[in-house]
Structure 1
Amino acid sequence: MSILFSNPPWWENKESRGLFRKKRWRRGVRAGSRWPFTYIGRSSPDKSKTKDYIPYPYFLGYATTYVANKIGKDKVFFRDSIALSESYKSFYEYVDTIKDKIEYFLIESATPSWKHDFELIKEIKKKYPHFKIIVAGPISTSDQAWDMDIIHSILKGEYEKNVMKVLNGQSGLIEHDLLTLEEMNNAPFPYYDKLIYDKYYDGNPIPMNQLTPQAHLLTSRGCPFKCIFCVWPAAMTGNDPDGENKRSVRQYSSEYMDGFIDQLTNEYKFEAIYFDDDTFNIGNKHTQEISKVAGKYNIPWFAMCRADTCKKDTWVTMRDNGCKGVKIGIESGSQYVVDQIVNKHLDLNYTAQVVDHLRSLDMSVHGTFTYGLPGETKEQMLETKEFIKNTNFNTVQESGTAEIEGTPLHTLNKKELKNYPGASLNADYDRQKDGGKKWQSLVKSLQEN
């Protein structure tokens, strides 16, 4: 048995953008992104340029070393074409070099990329009919009729153990089977490809935009909160499409993370570490322990956080151990939207106070917001604009709300959800699957005020 873990190319077309209307390629990111989307990048096929947003493909990376540990490194292959900014021609040229060594081909996909990916899958099956194609990622929660003449297996949720089930003879739709906390902390570290380890990049929070290469890491899996649009806790690290079940968080031990960071920094010269957990700072004990581990390596680090899940003293511990900035997911500047539509229950007044506190610690703060939520009015979107204006962020991210399989937002199309009383879908609601494209359609409307 042998397998290729693949994050294939995703290019769309050239679009004019900017002052001089220069045409650039619209490219997509899928594996490693909680909300796969497309954007106008700097790179073009086979011509990689720095500072395009490219997340590390966490589930692919962990599954690669997990399976290699079971069946042997010589039987496991990994190809991140997104990080390579690889053309389709170059991708197929690579696959041609290993086609006789490969039995299984795995692709991680989600709703925004699925139309593209399925066409690619059909082409791969045509070129390499002996490949047994495995589909993983949020798209696995789809209730569509799967073409089993083309697709061998569909894996729900994080897929280390489920890949091994397929390699040992199972096929078809395989339900969630997550690593236990003990299994997670005893698993091998995720795969890093020496050819592309320096290609992963996120420009926020600053000054991470000036620091490369970057190590993108997880210190936990899962999130207890039930934001209506959030994909991974609903579809990957849990199975909760209605947002009504208990969601768990499994945190890597400080010993595991110390060993991981030690290995990475010995093999590569990273200039920044980014902890891209769903929520890095859940609980003071874990946050402080990981902060002290990170502080040993004297590398600037950053993290994805929530404003109200740790004490103010814990932010100080983070700062004292090298944390230079954080992202904080806020979603809306309307308290009604935050509580009744998103189901985040985050006090916006307290959040503004935390932002001031972080700035006083000389830490940068990047706020993330989404527009076009189900039931959200234009006036509420403008409240978000006002909140951003009146809060001391260094930078902000504004995007359109994408509807992705496996989330409560997708379920809302089928039934009402009790935890989202303000959420509603009317005939005018834009069910766009690509948040980047949805944001483009919203910008003009919001600028008219």
Structure 2
Amino acid sequence: MKIWILNPPYFKHFSRPQRSPAVTKSGTVYYPIWLAGCTGVLEEAGHDVTLTDAPARGYDLEYILEMSKELAPSLIVVDTSTPSINNDLTVCKRIREKLPHAFIVLVGTHASALPHETLLQCDAVNAVARKEYELTIDELAKYLCKSSWPLENGYIKNSHIEPLSSIKGLSFCALPENSTLMEPAIAEKNDNDYSTKPVILHNPDRPFIEDLDTLPWVSKIYQKHLCMEDYFNPNTLFPMATIMTSRGCPFRCSFCVYPQTITGRRFRFRSVEDVVDEMEYIQKNIPKIKAIFFEDDTMSANRKRCIALSREIIKRGIKLPWTTNSRIDPDLETLKIMKKAGCRSLCVGFESGEQRILNGMHKGTRKEKMFRFMKDAKKAGILIHGCFMVGFPGEGRSDIKKTIELSMKLKPDTVQFYPVMVYPGTEAYSEYMGKGWITAEKYENWLTPEGLHNCVVRNEALSSQKLVDICNDARREFYLRPRYIAYKLFQIIRHPSEATRTLKAFRTFFRHLGIFPKLDILSRFK
């Protein structure tokens, strides 16, 4: 079967796979890691698969429509995100006009969180594959291969409802003859006239994949289907490759979208050997790659496994430097062996300088441990990218002042300041929605007209615009300190390999925030 895996067009360099999808001020563009994994599973099953990342390549809608006619796929898998969902559905409608008999299925965070709403919104879409979707799409493809599946006004005919209802993790639209066909699934009905009105069926969830070693290596998929120079992360060397070593996150941060919509809360791991085998493959077969980004929710949380992975990297002689997401949990011993194994930097969510706010977001960290962690990271020689957010419930001006002061005292290598980003499917979204604090009228309001992050929340004390202004000024204050600029210049001199990623990030930073900043943000809080 011909299958098209599509990251649909939107803004150029719109980074749909990241936790807060947008065109970023740092120039970050994430690999479509989930789409790549699905592509690998389908190729191993013998299908003819094309993976297209339109935003990374800068392809517009007309280009994609021409591609759809040339490819003529029978199954199309389309990624989604909250800010882009209306655009994504429009893309599906336009593709449906070109390919009236193709089966179109949505995946990704937004469709997974709101499958019913999403399917009601667009009759060009046949189904949603919820949560971890590789095996759901694989099973769907197997069924479509052996069946004739004509559509009726965009909906699946009643004769196909019962077999499709056996595919776990699938939600789909259909025109059933009667209600008995809906018993294998949990049906939510739009109308009691089953014979003429569409019904949306939600099959039971698919269990999460336990043996992650059975999944194909995404690096091979990138190499075959993508231009790897299209992807950039300012926290790692360029060009880089992104892979995962685990799925799920046991921590309960209220705002984090992937554990709540895709991967779940329970840690599942690839074997150490499988991860290092893939690193070895990249080092030997993709020599242009200068670094690895481990896109786990928090790889370092399991100390024993983190040490075992580091030791295996050292044992194999892997020379690729790497970066990953981390909490403040690793101790000095762990950080030292990570550094020896090639860890050059960690992305760390410090979030707030006020313990009460940290507790409210269920972060599970203590402010005093942040300083111990930073001290140990500097001793180990690991760079830290610090993440800070503002706009939480109960957070006032004095709390935000503490957060900004904390960022200066911790002295990470780089930082990001954002208003809290809330997305459907998360506890934070439900909380803000319940309080009437979501200011966006439609999903595209999650972005500015240029595609940048937009603040869509307020709290008791601060408006959306005030939160944006504070974050912009905080970035300027942090990055344009003479001491910080001197530090960066010295870093480039000592480590020339840092020059590309640093200059690329600063060029984008200046373009979005301007060279002539308003400094002394802390005076605003006096």
TM range (shorter): 0.7 to 0.9
Letter in 1 for 2:36: G
Q: Is the CA contact 1:324–1:364 (under 8 Å) kept in the aligned structure 2? A: yes
Written as runs of structure 1 = structure 2, the 5 A alignment for 1:104-253 is 104-139=75-110, 140-142=112-114, 143-144=116-117, 146-147=119-120, 149-167=123-141, 168-169=143-144, 170=164, 172=172, 173-182=202-211, 184-190=212-218, 191-194=221-224, 195-204=226-235, 208=236, 211-238=237-264, 247-253=265-271
Written as runs of structure 1 = structure 2, the 5 A alignment for 1:356-371 is 356-371=375-390
Structure 1 residue 327: Cα displacement: 1.0
Letter in 2 for 1:312: L
Instruction: Give the secondary structure class of the aligned counterpart of 2:234.
Output: coil
Say yes or no: does 1:10 pair with 2:39: no
Distance 2:438 2:426 in 1: 20
Distance 1:374 1:144 in 2: 27
Letter in 2 for 1:395: T
Structure 1 residue 59: Cα displacement: 1.1
Provide the residue aligned with 1:339 in structure 2.
Answer: 359
Say yes or no: does 1:67 pair with 2:38: no
Distance 2:79 2:244 in 1: 18
Structure 1 residue 353: Cα displacement: 1.5
Instruction: Give the secondary structure class of the aligned counterpart of 2:338.
Output: helix
Provide the residue aligned with 1:433 in structure 2.
Answer: 446
Instruction: Give the secondary structure class of the aligned counterpart of 1:5.
Output: strand
Structure 1 residue 354: Cα displacement: 0.7
Structure 1 residue 428: Cα displacement: 7.7
Letter in 2 for 1:437: N
Instruction: Give the secondary structure class of the aligned counterpart of 1:225.
Output: coil
In structure 2, the CA distance between the partners of 1:326 and 1:339, relative to structure 1 (3 Å rule), is same
Q: Is the CA contact 1:138–1:236 (under 8 Å) kept in the aligned structure 2? A: yes
Instruction: Give the secondary structure class of the aligned counterpart of 1:437.
Output: coil
Written as runs of structure 1 = structure 2, the 5 A alignment for 1:278-293 is 278-293=297-312
Letter in 2 for 1:128: L
Provide the residue aligned with 2:396 in structure 1.
Answer: 377
Structure with bigger gyration radius: 2
TM-score scaled by length of structure 1: 0.82
Distance 1:366 1:146 in 2: 39
TM-score scaled by length of structure 2: 0.70
Distance 1:321 1:303 in 2: 13
Computed over aligned residues only, the root mean square deviation of the Cα atoms, in angstroms, reads 2.3
Structure 1 residue 175: Cα displacement: 4.5
Letter in 2 for 1:353: R
In structure 2, the CA distance between the partners of 1:352 and 1:85, relative to structure 1 (3 Å rule), is farther
- The equivalent position to 1:28 in structure 2, one of 14, 19, 29, is 14
**CA displacement 1:149-176 (0-9 Å, x = unmatched):** 3111111101011112322252614443
Provide the residue aligned with 1:257 in structure 2.
Answer: 275
In structure 2, the CA distance between the partners of 1:152 and 1:381, relative to structure 1 (3 Å rule), is same
Q: Is the CA contact 2:61–2:91 (under 8 Å) kept in the aligned structure 1? A: no
Provide the residue aligned with 1:49 in structure 2.
Answer: none
Say yes or no: does 1:329 pair with 2:349: yes
Structure 1 residue 413: Cα displacement: 4.9
Letter in 2 for 1:121: C
Q: Is the CA contact 1:280–1:304 (under 8 Å) kept in the aligned structure 2? A: yes
Structure 1 residue 445: Cα displacement: 4.8
Say yes or no: does 1:408 pair with 2:427: yes
Say yes or no: does 1:312 pair with 2:332: yes
Aligned identity (percent) is 25
Provide the residue aligned with 1:54 in structure 2.
Answer: 29
Distance 1:276 1:145 in 2: 27
Q: Is the CA contact 2:8–2:79 (under 8 Å) kept in the aligned structure 1? A: no
In structure 2, the CA distance between the partners of 1:397 and 1:174, relative to structure 1 (3 Å rule), is farther
Distance 1:257 1:96 in 2: 38
Structure 1 residue 127: Cα displacement: 2.4
Instruction: Give the secondary structure class of the aligned counterpart of 2:117.
Output: coil
Provide the residue aligned with 1:78 in structure 2.
Answer: 51
Of 342-351 and 125-134, more deviation after overlay is shown by: 125-134
In structure 2, the CA distance between the partners of 1:292 and 1:85, relative to structure 1 (3 Å rule), is farther
Q: Is the CA contact 2:3–2:49 (under 8 Å) kept in the aligned structure 1? A: yes
Q: Is the CA contact 2:432–2:438 (under 8 Å) kept in the aligned structure 1? A: no
Written as runs of structure 1 = structure 2, the 5 A alignment for 1:343-358 is 343-358=362-377
**How many residues matched?**
395
Of 211-220 and 147-156, more deviation after overlay is shown by: 147-156
Structure 1 residue 105: Cα displacement: 0.8
Structure 1 residue 231: Cα displacement: 0.6
Structure 1 residue 37: Cα displacement: 2.1
Structure 1 residue 412: Cα displacement: 2.1
Provide the residue aligned with 1:444 in structure 2.
Answer: 469
Distance 1:228 1:438 in 2: 17
In structure 2, the CA distance between the partners of 1:401 and 1:174, relative to structure 1 (3 Å rule), is farther
Q: Is the CA contact 1:10–1:29 (under 8 Å) kept in the aligned structure 2? A: no
Q: Is the CA contact 1:200–1:216 (under 8 Å) kept in the aligned structure 2? A: no
Written as runs of structure 1 = structure 2, the 5 A alignment for 1:77-96 is 77-96=50-69
Structure 1 residue 426: Cα displacement: 4.8
Of 136-145 and 277-286, more deviation after overlay is shown by: 136-145
Distance 2:271 2:91 in 1: 39
Letter in 2 for 1:133: I
Q: Is the CA contact 1:156–1:175 (under 8 Å) kept in the aligned structure 2? A: no
In structure 2, the CA distance between the partners of 1:255 and 1:97, relative to structure 1 (3 Å rule), is same
Gaps of 5+ in 1: 12-24, 42-51, 239-246, 416-424
Letter in 1 for 2:38: A
Q: Is the CA contact 1:155–1:174 (under 8 Å) kept in the aligned structure 2? A: no
Distance 1:39 1:330 in 2: 20
Instruction: Give the secondary structure class of the aligned counterpart of 2:349.
Output: strand
Structure 1 residue 396: Cα displacement: 0.7
In structure 2, the CA distance between the partners of 1:40 and 1:317, relative to structure 1 (3 Å rule), is closer
Structure 1 residue 277: Cα displacement: 0.8
